[in-house]
């Protein structure tokens, strides 16, 4: 401890100086702070204990909180989600981890038939305050089954709340909010952003979890993105400046519910919109975005809402993923297909 | 807030490796004679008061079941899965837990719910088609009846583990069918419970069929209780039509679980006398002969013979039980005689804790339709 | 037998006279004929043997073909689909049944991670000629978990082919084609249509499985429907005549792939379209239809593509399902929301 | 075409209810001494030729494994899950099936694939990141390596059942990890196999860890082989570092399966000496001491000691084996020294048998991008 602390300005003690934090670090801090604040918060899953998770999001938590607050479960995802339901019924606030999107599939029945439906089935008597964390999407050179984008499965399921942060500050704030939520939350973490950094002073509270945010203002086009593609959208917006195109970027943050208000306001301003995601285009979440934005803003639209998405193929092997994933170039090329004089 | 001294998940109990008895454990034979020796597996007959209580509950529960089947035939319910013939299993087991313990039932287990004190109207709401579930889970410490097979077993494991982490001395009991044991979730539930040593009692009601599929197509194991060995937990193979044996074995399991001794798997061998549900046609897959065979092994008659032979069943007791059973049947008829008209606008109320704008929009749209008389015919009760 | 048969015109012997057949009967006949034609076709699932399936679609088949061609498996959907994969690898053509949509969820991992991906993963070396039959949707007064509409889960999954017949003739023809297909097919059967009848002379061959069909011509609006909502669309079209509105109805038949050609031609003709389905609107298959039709025909559209769908709620209990399901009235009311003079 | 006289699915075999031995079966002790009596569970040591063959395969497979780990450290592979230390288990088992039999491996089992005759370049394509799988399943009768845990066990059951329906006398063998036994699919596979009495051999490689999670957190059973009891099938608890025992037990199971005797569950007790994959950090969850302990139980050394004591390992044989191993290592280095550049347009070729219009549109779009030089940097090999 620095003997000089008394000479430091008093404000410093209240608002800690920002430090560079990765998204993985921010998530780790959110779990740590949530566990410290509320002993009903428990964490389990595969390899979350001594290993700290394959992405180190739970690093150090078992050492701090012990084996009764955070532990390694047997290797069975339906078991993990199914037991979390029981724990949530008893008033705990379980935060469970699915190791990768594709490994949440064994838990599908528990997610759809119980997590999503419990509150409705019981006329609101049984709420499930639980969080299912899912490291998601690609661009990490992962071998087969390690880069799926599963969001559409969850967003198609009434009763689930589905969110995906794109940056460390949101990661912290939204995970805290998800844990505090009385309803179950599917918390999706874009793997390729785990090591992205931002200066952060914790605890940080960003916009409420169910709100989209305009992360860059523009006048000509609205790019709607979430998770890993927010960066892609921002890159495209940067590059478009040279072409004299002013792009507004909306980070959805919440996939379900969808923030019609924020997105609609942007689209009515720009009159053109495109949505970007990694998942295959056909039946992807972008379909809902495009359908919805069009339905509600048709007479404001000068052009169809475009979808810039993965191809309609299973996620490719590491050497081929770059051809599949949307890039800023591909976004700009897509915008060029519009009849700009229309 | 940090790691305190509560019990560690590192469990010290050695795995159990004992094979369940090949013949189902039994305390009363089919003629109502009390058994001794190997057949009992070391369990002893509950005292007379307990047996009388079990008898009373079975008679009442059956009356309820028969009444609901009749109402279903009259079209008052959308569907009803009867447990006629399984009362020994259902009531022996459910009577072994207390009101602070939790119960995770399936669609099959209405007679256990009645025995647990739920109201007929609460139980039957879902089968009448009013809403998916009609009772208060927390008040009765009873989960909504599960339809997706074996899924509820995991909920029971999770809940009882949470209770253990909280040092609450409660137990969770869950029922599963023979068919349900084939699902992956059954396996995961048994395994999680054994690894975590949760206070969970799994009662497999082996009623010989999963809809039309006989046990021989469901497992190649000698008994379903044999599965316990693969999880290092105790397994018991019990005559499910011997309510005394079911009670004794489940009661011991509940007490062991409560004392920190971990989970138990109990198979009750029984038979579903009625069809799977009212829409099933059992003549397609089983012989009348077989049903007759099992009718002669009726759980209520068995205990009645014993009680009679012991002189424990006075006419006063009998008529008190009959009255109670008839009163319940009357109450059931009464509550089902008025068609409930659930409010369509409630459809939007419980999906999320916090109302969503898009759902409120949809609610308004339906409200407008209703106001415009779109469903007037129906609302006039014309269906 | 009628002694007069020799006096009947000879043609009658070649083209059997049509008889009234239900959709369940047509599916049964398709299975029977496929099994008779090819002994690699095997059928299994829950209660498909002596019981003939809970909807009687496999009625009588075990008596005819024996226990080695059609049998009851243990009760485990992942097991059913997983073993079918192995059988298909060995050259069999398994046709397996999921008892209800919601009970296919335990098989989700096998469907998404293997059925959908096997051919791609193995560079085309391993094809899976298998059919997963799923009785789907509601309107049968089913209790909880018996009326889900699961199609969006499958259509969001690249590698799957997803079809849904709306009438007995298509049911027969499409099931035969699905069984003959070298690729896996998710074959969805609208439960509420099982007992709908049509005069049929078997075997019947309707349009190829991947084509949509215009089932009623019209000039003002295109209603896009599939499975149970085709009837709803036709009812709406009938009712609209009084209002002087000419509605064209397209029965999609194939959900994946989507027949852009047929649908596009209709929409370009009418310049207005709506899609109808039972599943919840948010993230439902209608989103893909709306997004796609708009993308490809934007400048032909006079109004946004509407979605008339279930509410964004878990499927209701029997007494409330009528409020949830799209009706012809609701379809017509939705069309009224368009700015018709625009 | 109608129901012919082929074997019925109604199986007559009685359920097996024997508990596997608590101590792993073993034919050679760690010092390479041949054992007799109870320890062997009645199995006999394979003949010298077989043992020499197993030894040779293990040495070659290990050389391959070590080579691939080295190449992975050099960045030539995206990932590699080593089986160092598990060669006794892998090679004992895989050597028990013939080239007409089918094998359903996991990501862990490259050394079994090498032993089965697959080419290094074919095996490593997926780990290098070229495509999800790089060998011909039908030619090698070997399924693509499975990543979603336990899923492949069901494929093995289905395939072997199909073979049985076709009267083809083949067997399917599948490997599973200790962790994978917790998944619902493992249970469903065991159960389907036992009910259908399929010719399937399940080999559970209990290497003590599922990534970081030790066996004690995975099961409370005394042995993983104990699970067999719950399915009425034979289960064997075997020392997986004794290749002779693994071979003898799996060989017997394969022959029984081929003769119509149904499935077997075999647990090989072994240890993963390397990290889970190259991106794992095992120091976080296990002690160096433990690894050292297991290194002293090396499967190759054990058999080598026996063969030496028997005078069966001449210098000629040794050097022939070393040469073969080095040749394979050289071939592996060579094939991995050139970076494959898979054709991006192939992405669209295999999703469906019949090309879909929408996919062809997407293919054309990518083709145009490529033509316009969108990925020129990459194509110049600049990554
Ligand atoms: C996951 C799942 N698959 C299928 C069904 C359809 N189903 C309802 S009851 C039943 C049979 C269940 O048999 P069993 O577990 O023996 O219970 P029982 O009805 O005999 O009490 C089936 C197949 C279901 N409810 N859930
Ligand atoms: C369904 C599923 N869940 C999680 C994973 C992630 N994962 C890959 S390997 C592994 C551990 C597997 O352990 P084990 O079965 O013992 O095999 P080992 O790696 O030790 O050979 C995990 C959790 C997966 N591949 N599949
Ligand atoms: Mg049953
Ligand atoms: Mg392992």
Cα(B204) to ligand 3 centroid in Å equals: 9
C47 touches chain B (CB under 8 A): yes
At residue C215, what are phi and psi to the nearest 5 degrees? -95, -10
The confidence score (pLDDT) of residue B378 equals 55
A109 touches chain B (CB under 8 A): yes
Of A109, A120, A295, the CB nearest to C105: A109
* Lookup result for tokens 């025992």: D245
The answer to whether residue A12 scores a pLDDT higher than 90 is no
pLDDT per position as a tens digit, C299-324: 999 999 999 999 999 999 999 999 99
CA closest to C161 among chain D residues: D352
Co-location of C222 and C140 in the same domain: no
Size of interface A-B (CB pairs under 8 A): 156
| CATH number of the domain within which A140 lies | 3.40.50.970
Helices A77-89 and B184-196: angle between axes, nearest 10 degrees:
70
B/e letters for D12-51, b = 16+ CB within 10 Å, e = fewer, are: eeebbbebbbeebbbbbebebeebeeebbbebebbeeebb
Final residue before a domain boundary, out of C200, C235, C268: C200
Of B195, B217, B228, the CB nearest to D217: B195
Co-location of A32 and A173 in the same domain: yes
Distance CA(D135)–CA(D125), nearest Å, equals: 8
The confidence score (pLDDT) of residue D8 equals 42
Distance CA(D249)–CA(D202), nearest Å, equals: 12
Helix (H) or strand (E) holding C82: helix C77-89
The confidence score (pLDDT) of residue B12 equals 59
Catalytic residue among C114, C145, C146, C324: C146
Final residue before a domain boundary, out of A155, A173, A200: A200
CATH of B5-337, one of 3.40.50.300, 3.30.70.100, 3.40.50.970, 3.20.20.140: 3.40.50.970
Positive or negative, the CA dihedral C313, C314, C315, C318 is: negative
Q: What is the mean pLDDT of residues A279-303?
A: 97
CA closest to C185 among chain D residues: D352
pTM for the structure as a whole:
0.96
Of C67, C79, C125, the CB nearest to D192: C79
Is A83 in Cβ contact with B353 (below 8 Å)?
Answer: no
Is A287 in Cβ contact with C288 (below 8 Å)?
Answer: yes
CA closest to D195 among chain C residues: C74
Residues in contact with B234: Cβ distance below 8 Å, sequence separation at least 6, in sequence order: B16, B18, B228, B253, B256, B264, B265
A288 touches chain B (CB under 8 A): no
- C250 pLDDT band (50/70/90 cuts)? very high
Cα(D205) to ligand 2 centroid in Å equals: 12
Q: What is the mean pLDDT of residues C152-167?
A: 98
Residues of B designated as active site: 272, 276, 285
Co-location of C192 and C54 in the same domain: yes
B23 touches chain D (CB under 8 A): no
The confidence score (pLDDT) of residue C283 equals 98
Mutate to test the pocket of ligand 2, among D151, D175, D179 (most ligand atoms within 8 A of CB): D179
Cβ contacts of D138 on chain C, cutoff 8 Å? 125-126
C33 touches chain D (CB under 8 A): no
* Structural domain contains residue C205: no
* Structural domain contains residue A207: no
Distance CA(C112)–CA(C100), nearest Å, equals: 18
3-class SS of residue D59: helix
Is C146 within 8 Å of B78 (Cβ atoms)?
A: no
3-class SS of residue B225: helix
- Chain B interface test: which of D187, D190, D215 (most B C-beta within 10 Å): D187
pLDDT per position as a tens digit, C45-65: 999 999 999 999 999 999 999
Is B151 in Cβ contact with A87 (below 8 Å)?
Answer: no
Is C50 in Cβ contact with B285 (below 8 Å)?
Answer: yes
D179 lines ligand 2 (CB under 6 A): yes
pLDDT per position as a tens digit, C261-313: 999 999 999 999 999 999 999 999 999 999 999 999 999 999 999 999 999 99
Distances (CA, A) of C142 to B151, B366, C97, C322: 19, 22, 18, 12
Positive or negative, the CA dihedral A118, A120, A126, A131 is: positive
In order along its 383 residues, chain D shows pLDDT tens digits of 333 333 344 445 799 999 999 999 999 999 999 999 999 999 999 999 999 999 999 999 999 999 999 999 999 999 999 999 999 999 999 999 999 999 999 999 999 999 999 999 999 999 999 999 999 999 999 999 999 999 999 999 999 999 999 999 999 999 999 999 999 999 999 999 999 999 999 999 999 999 999 999 999 999 999 999 999 999 999 999 999 999 999 999 999 999 999 999 999 999 999 999 998 999 999 999 999 999 999 999 999 999 999 999 999 999 999 999 999 999 999 999 988 899 999 999 999 999 899 999 999 999 999 999 988 765 444 33
Residues with CB under 6 A from ligand 1: B 108, 147-149, 177-180, 207, 209-211, 272, 276; C 46, 75, 99, 103, 106
Co-location of A184 and A53 in the same domain: yes
* Structural domain contains residue A13: no
Residue D312 half-sphere exposure toward CB, CA atoms < 13 A: 18
Chains touching chain B, criterion 3+ CB pairs below 8 Å: A, C, D
Co-location of C43 and C172 in the same domain: yes
Q: Which domain holds residue A279?
A: 213-335
The confidence score (pLDDT) of residue C17 equals 83
Co-location of A101 and A46 in the same domain: yes
In order along its 383 residues, chain B shows pLDDT tens digits of 333 333 344 445 799 999 999 999 999 999 999 999 999 999 999 999 999 999 999 999 999 999 999 999 999 999 999 999 999 999 999 999 999 999 999 999 999 999 999 999 999 999 999 999 999 999 999 999 999 999 999 999 999 999 999 999 999 999 999 999 999 999 999 999 999 999 999 999 999 999 999 999 999 999 999 999 999 999 999 999 999 999 999 999 999 999 999 999 999 999 999 999 998 999 999 999 999 999 999 999 999 999 999 999 999 999 999 999 999 999 999 999 988 899 999 999 999 999 899 999 999 999 999 999 988 765 444 33
Strand-pair partners of D269 = D206, D239
Minimal C-alpha gap between B335 and chain C (Å): 17
**Does A324 qualify as catalytic in the annotation?**
no
Greatest CA separation for chain D: 74
* Structural domain contains residue C13: no
Chains touching chain A, criterion 3+ CB pairs below 8 Å: B, C, D
C336 touches chain B (CB under 8 A): no
Co-location of C174 and C219 in the same domain: no
Number of domains present in the structure of chain A: 2
Co-location of A72 and A112 in the same domain: yes
Co-location of A231 and A191 in the same domain: no
Ligand 2 nearest-atom number relative to CA A47: 23
D211 lines ligand 2 (CB under 6 A): yes
D58 lines ligand 2 (CB under 6 A): no
Domain boundaries, chain B: 5-337, 344-379
Minimal C-alpha gap between B151 and chain A (Å): 7
Is A121 within 8 Å of A109 (Cβ atoms)?
A: no
Ligand 3 is an ion; residues with CB less than 5 A from it: B 177-178, 207, 210
Distances (CA, A) of A241 to A220, A248, B67, B272: 11, 11, 76, 74
Q: Nearest C-alpha to atom 6 of ligand 1 is from which residue?
A: C99
* Structural domain contains residue A12: no
The confidence score (pLDDT) of residue A16 equals 73
Co-location of C76 and C174 in the same domain: yes
Of B3, B148, B154, the CB nearest to A69: B3
Is B9 in Cβ contact with A71 (below 8 Å)?
Answer: yes
Is A186 within 8 Å of A134 (Cβ atoms)?
A: yes
| DSSP-assigned states of every residue in A281-332 | STTSHHHHHHHHHHHHHGGG-SSPPEEEEE-SSPPPPGGGHHHHS--HHHHH
By DSSP bridging, strand C221-225 and strand C247-251 are parallel
- CB atoms near residue D96 (< 10 Å): 24
Assigned token pair, B278: 């009212």
Of D185, D226, D262, the CB nearest to B184: D185
**Residue C203: is the preceding peptide bond cis (ω within 30°)?**
yes
Co-location of C195 and C217 in the same domain: no
Length of chain C: 342
* Structural domain contains residue A192: yes
CA closest to A101 among chain D residues: D148
Torsion of CA C29, C32, C36, C40, to 10 degrees: 130
Co-location of C24 and C141 in the same domain: yes
Is A294 in Cβ contact with C291 (below 8 Å)?
Answer: yes
Sort C306 into a burial class: Cβ within 10 Å, 0-12 / 13-18 / 19+: buried
Q: Nearest C-alpha to atom 20 of ligand 1 is from which residue?
A: B210
Is A72 in Cβ contact with D347 (below 8 Å)?
Answer: no
CA closest to B147 among chain A residues: A113
Distances (CA, A) of D304 to D30, D35, D36: 11, 15, 19
Helix (H) or strand (E) holding A135: strand A131-136
pLDDT per position as a tens digit, A146-161: 999 999 999 999 999 9
């Amino acid at each position: 401890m620095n003997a000089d602390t008394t000479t430091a300005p008093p404000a410093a003690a209240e608002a800690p100086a920002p430090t560079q934090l990765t998204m993985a670090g921010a998530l780790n801090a959110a779990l740590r702070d949530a566990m410290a604040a509320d002993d009903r918060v428990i964490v389990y899953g595969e390899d979350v204990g001594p290993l700290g998770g394959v992405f180190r999001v739970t690093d150090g938590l078992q050492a701090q909180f012990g084996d009764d607050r955070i532990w390694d479960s047997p290797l069975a995802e339906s078991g993990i989600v199914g037991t979390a339901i029981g724990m949530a019924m008893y008033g705990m606030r379980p935060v469970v981890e699915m190791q990768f999107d594709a490994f949440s599939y064994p838990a599908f029945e528990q997610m759809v038939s119980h997590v999503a439906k419990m509150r409705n089935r019981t006329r609101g008597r049984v709420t499930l305050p639980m969080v299912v964390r899912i490291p998601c999407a690609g661009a990490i050179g992962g071998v087969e089954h390690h880069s799926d984008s599963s969001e559409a499965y969850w967003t198609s399921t009434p009763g689930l709340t589905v969110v995906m942060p794109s940056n460390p500050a949101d990661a912290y704030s939204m995970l805290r909010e998800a844990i505090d939520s009385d309803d179950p939350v599917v918390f999706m973490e874009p793997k390729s952003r785990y090591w992205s950094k931002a200066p952060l002073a914790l605890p940080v509270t960003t916009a409420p979890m169910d709100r989209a945010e305009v992360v860059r203002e523009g006048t000509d086009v609205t790019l709607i993105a979430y998770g890993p593609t927010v960066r892609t959208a921002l890159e495209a917006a940067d590059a478009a400046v040279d072409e004299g195109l002013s792009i507004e970027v909306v980070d959805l943050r919440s996939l379900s519910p969808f923030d019609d208000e924020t997105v609609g306001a942007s689209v009515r301003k720009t009159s053109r919109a495109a949505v970007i995601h990694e998942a295959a285009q056909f039946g992807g979440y972008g379909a809902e975005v495009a359908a919805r934005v069009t339905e509600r803003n048709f007479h404001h639209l000068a052009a169809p809402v475009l979808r810039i998405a993965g191809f309609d193929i299973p996620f490719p092997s590491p050497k081929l993923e770059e051809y599949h994933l949307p890039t800023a170039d591909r976004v700009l090329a897509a915008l060029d297909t519009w009849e700009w004089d229309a | 807030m940090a790691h305190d001294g509560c019990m560690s998940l590192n469990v010290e109990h050695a795995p159990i490796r004992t094979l369940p008895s090949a013949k189902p454990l039994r305390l009363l034979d089919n003629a109502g004679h009390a058994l001794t020796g190997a057949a009992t597996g070391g369990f002893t007959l509950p005292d007379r008061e307990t047996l009388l209580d079990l008898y009373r509950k079975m008679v009442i529960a059956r009356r309820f079941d028969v009444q609901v089947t009749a109402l279903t035939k009259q079209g008052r319910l959308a569907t009803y899965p009867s447990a006629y013939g399984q009362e020994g299993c259902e009531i022996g087991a459910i009577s072994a837990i207390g009101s602070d313990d939790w119960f995770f039932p399936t669609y099959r287990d209405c007679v256990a719910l009645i025995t647990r004190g739920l109201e007929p109207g609460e139980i039957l709401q879902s089968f009448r088609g009013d809403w998916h579930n009609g009772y208060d889970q927390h008040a009765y410490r009873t989960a909504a009846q599960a339809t997706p097979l074996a899924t509820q077993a995991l909920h029971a494991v999770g809940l009882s583990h949470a209770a253990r982490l909280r040092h609450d001395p409660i137990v969770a009991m869950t029922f599963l069918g023979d068919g349900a044991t084939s699902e992956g979730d059954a396996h995961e539930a048994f395994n999680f419970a054994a690894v975590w040593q949760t206070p969970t009692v799994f009662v497999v009601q082996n009623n010989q069929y999963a809809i039309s599929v006989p046990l021989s197509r469901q497992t190649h194991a000698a008994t379903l209780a044999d599965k316990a060995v693969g999880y290092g937990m105790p397994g018991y193979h019990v005559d499910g039509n011997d309510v005394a044996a079911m009670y004794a074995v489940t009661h011991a399991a509940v007490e062991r679980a409560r004392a920190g001794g971990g989970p138990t798997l109990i198979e009750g061998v029984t038979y579903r006398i009625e069809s799977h549900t009212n829409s099933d046609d059992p003549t397609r897959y089983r012989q009348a002969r077989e049903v007759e065979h099992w009718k002669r092994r009726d759980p209520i008659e068995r205990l009645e013979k014993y009680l009679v032979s012991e002189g424990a069943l006075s006419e006063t007791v009998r008529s008190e039980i009959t009255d109670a059973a008839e009163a319940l049947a009357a109450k059931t008829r009464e509550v089902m005689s008025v068609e409930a008209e659930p409010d369509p606008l409630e459809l939007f109320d419980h999906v999320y804790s916090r109302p969503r704008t898009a759902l409120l929009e949809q609610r308004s749209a339906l409200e407008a339709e209703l106001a415009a008389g779109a469903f007037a015919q129906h609302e006039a009760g014309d269906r």
